[in-house]
Chains A and B, each alone.
Chain A
Amino acid sequence: IQMTQSPSSLSASVGERVTITCRASQDISYSLAWYQQKPGQAPNLLIFGASNLQTGVPSRFSGTASGTDFTLTISSLHPEDFATYYCLQAHSFPLTFGGGTKVEIK
């Protein structure tokens, strides 16, 4: 299953609303996770099951699903949110990540 993530990068300001999209090449139901990775650090699970917030993740992060399209939204960008974000399909093996979206400061 191929995961097409867009955009590959974006520039945004603190306080802006940011949306990142992943499209699956076939039906994966709601078996999708979102990860955040900051430079020099291991990734961190943000959302699982397409829309469920992992414990400890701020509520400004949210996930939605529509068919094979999945969206990660950051409602109001905080300084600590500048990072690279990845989607992952967890529906079937081999598991596959999207290419990543780097969120940079405008």
Chain B
Amino acid sequence: EVQLLESGGDLVQPGGSLRLSCAGSGFMFSSSDMGWVRQAPGKGLEWVSGVSAGGGAKYYADSVKGRFTISRDNSKNTLYLQINGLRADDTAVYYCVKTSRDSYGYMQSWGQGTLVTVSS
């Protein structure tokens, strides 16, 4: 069974930084494209970032480009999202997703999410 376990969410002041982690199990992590999707409280879904299985290709939403960095450590079966320059509108539940080989948009498995709150 595919399991994705996010961690690292916290209450952070504007301008601060955070690193989210996602531990994957039950599948071949090193062969899987992965990504992050977020959802602000009471709002819709927003795709944030995606990374190829080997880590060489990375993609970002315009709203986070230059502030967020996606990475992975296949030896640890772990996906990361480094978030810098946090703003109030980054407040959201951040979901880790395992995507299909066919497309980053076909998100087959989701974690339970980790909450990031940006507030002074």
Smallest CB-CB separation from A8: which chain B residue? B44
Within 8 A of B (CB), among A45-93: 45, 48-49, 54, 86, 88-91, 93
How many residues of chain B are within 8 Å of chain A by beta carbon? 23
The answer to whether residues A44 and B104 also contact, given A88-B47, A94-B62, A100-B44 and a CB cut-off of 8 A, is no
In the assembled complex, A13 has its CB within 8 A of some CB on chain B: no
A-B residue pairs in contact (CB < 8 Å), sample of 9: A42-B113, A43-B37, A43-B107, A45-B107, A48-B103, A49-B106, A86-B44, A90-B104, A97-B47
User: 16 additional contacts, CB 8 Å, given A96-B47, A97-B44?
Assistant: A31-B103, A31-B105, A33-B103, A43-B45, A43-B110, A44-B110, A48-B100, A48-B102, A48-B103, A88-B47, A90-B103, A90-B105, A94-B59, A94-B62, A95-B50, A97-B47
In the assembled complex, B95 has its CB within 8 A of some CB on chain A: yes
Task: Say whether A45 contacts B106, CB under 8 Å.
Answer: yes
Task: Determine which of A37, A90, A93, A100 lies in contact with B106 in the assembled complex, contact meaning CB atoms within 8 Å.
Answer: A90
Task: Say whether B105 contacts A54, CB under 8 Å.
Answer: no
Task: Determine which of B61, B104, B112 lies in contact with A42 in the assembled complex, contact meaning CB atoms within 8 Å.
Answer: B112
A2 to B104, CA, bound (A): 17
In the assembled complex, B108 has its CB within 8 A of some CB on chain A: yes
The 7 closest A-B pairs by CB, nearest first: A90-B105, A42-B110, A95-B47, A48-B106, A90-B103, A100-B44, A94-B61
A45 to B37, CA, bound (A): 13
Q: Interface of A with B (CB < 8 Å)?
A: 31-33, 35, 37, 42-45, 48-49, 54, 86, 88-91, 93-100
Smallest CB-CB separation from B100: which chain A residue? A48
In the assembled complex, B14 has its CB within 8 A of some CB on chain A: no
A51 to B60, CA, bound (A): 26
